[in-house]
Structure 1
Amino acid sequence: MAEAPYMTAKTSVWWDIESCQIPRGFDAYGIAQNIGSALEKMNYCGPISIYAYGDVSRIPPTIQHALYSTGIALNHVPAGVKDASDKKILVDMLLRAVDIPAPATFMLISGDIDFSNALQQLRVRRYNIIFAQPQEGSALLVHAARTVWLWTSPLSWRKPSHTKRKLTTCFQ
């Protein structure tokens, strides 16, 4: 559950749509609502901003429309440059930290280990970190976060079985 200073604080969600794609059989229109509902059930009641990063040309137009229509900001990062999405997320995340002082919540949806140092540094600076990972996610990222969700099953987010930390379980 959210701790007192984070209950009404702003929540920024950074989604690496290339490493954590929309799960098969899941309606893209429900992503933002599901994230919001899961956060609300954990008593995060502040405003939520969701930013998705990846090569938009690889996302079907119907899914693009669904994401845009629910308030998710799609950030186009052309394919072909190694770790381009990761770098864009890192820069935007750190710029957001400059604009929004702690306490605030940053949620990362990714499986890339590149974020572990940034998340650790943000946590040290009193940012609340939530991490949603694919099943093969990095243990370093899990340890940087206060709360961990399994991205591959967003209708029934649950704690990953391979971690020994106490993790928060969220259900839709």
Structure 2
Amino acid sequence: MSIRRTSRQDGSIRRTSRQDGSIRRTSRQDGRFFTAETIAFWDINACPIPDGLDARDLSKCVNQTLINMNYCGEVCWRLYGDTEMDKIGPTNRTLRYCGMLSMPILEQILLDLYGETLSKRGTPLNIVLIAGDISKDEAIINAFTLLPKSGWVNILVCQPSAVEAAVFSSKVQLPPWEKFVETAFAILEKRGKDRRFFGDI
């Protein structure tokens, strides 16, 4: 069996496998999203920051995973929930702590998510949701099913491994939350817990 990989002018990647000349399977990645901005919405109540880490440690691991998946645009973080401020760490334009709000966290995330997609209408945009069980949340499922159909929104989801996987139109999944926590601890241990290693996100 031979495997042929070619690049298209639109930046997408086409991989074609043949077996006995009769079977061909093709998958595509939309290159428009590789350099697009990514906005990450993080429910820190459902996916908490463990003792010994802060938001920079974990967001850095997610950012690197996105780069490994060819999503190389700027990542802007929005954190929602209740936690100790020392677990948030310094905030800036690319990391904003929205705190504990009067409405349910997922409702606020959905409201902010729609606001971001409308303000960037027509411009490719990656949306990352880091949250708990959303499998029964019809509003989130409907949004994540309909938004990619617009043609300019790409959805990626990260959840704890124990929750039921949500079903919607996007097929791109991030590793489970525990994997990022494990990686962040491993990096801190390897680097002697030197925070300067992480730099600005």
TM-score with structure 2 length normalisation? 0.65
Distance 1:31 1:17, change over 3 A: same
* 8 Å Cα contact 2:154/2:170 also seen in 1: no
Distance in 1 (CA, whole Å) between partners of 2:169 and 2:145 is 8
SS at match of 1:149: coil
1:47 to 74, 91, 102: 74
**Deviation readout 1:17-36 (Å, 9 max, x if unpaired):** 11111245545431222121
* 8 Å Cα contact 1:104/1:128 also seen in 2: yes
Give aligned-pair identity as a percent.
27
* 8 Å Cα contact 1:13/1:107 also seen in 2: yes
Distance in 1 (CA, whole Å) between partners of 2:93 and 2:37 is 18
What is the deviation of 1:134?
0.5
Q: Does 1:62 align with 2:86?
A: yes
Distance in 2 (CA, whole Å) between partners of 1:63 and 1:152 is 17
Distance in 2 (CA, whole Å) between partners of 1:33 and 1:70 is 15
Distance in 2 (CA, whole Å) between partners of 1:136 and 1:143 is 21
Length, aligned pairs only:
150
**Equivalent AA in structure 1 for residue 72 of structure 2:** C
**Equivalent AA in structure 1 for residue 65 of structure 2:** A
Residue of structure 2 in register with 1:108 after alignment? 129
Q: Does 1:76 align with 2:102?
A: no
Distance 1:153 1:63, change over 3 A: same
Residue ranges of structure 1 left out of the alignment (5+ in a row): 158-172
Greater Rg by CA: 2
* 8 Å Cα contact 1:19/1:111 also seen in 2: yes
What is the deviation of 1:120?
1.1
1:149 to 170, 175, 188: 175
Runs of 4+ in 1 over 6 A off after TM superposition: none
Distance 1:18 1:111, change over 3 A: same
Distance 1:142 1:121, change over 3 A: closer
**Deviation readout 1:42-71 (Å, 9 max, x if unpaired):** 11111111101113xxx123113x152694
Residue ranges of structure 2 left out of the alignment (5+ in a row): 1-12, 14-28, 185-201
Distance 1:23 1:122, change over 3 A: farther
**Deviation readout 1:64-104 (Å, 9 max, x if unpaired):** 3x15269421112247x5xx111100000011110113421
Q: Does 1:31 align with 2:89?
A: no
SS at match of 2:63: helix
Higher helix share: 1
Larger relative contact order, structure 1 or 2 (CA cutoff 8 Å, min sep 6)? 1
TM-score with structure 1 length normalisation? 0.74
**Equivalent AA in structure 2 for residue 61 of structure 1:** M
- How large is the Cα RMSD of the aligned pairs? 2.6
**Equivalent AA in structure 2 for residue 120 of structure 1:** T
Q: Does 1:6 align with 2:48?
A: no
Higher strand share: 2
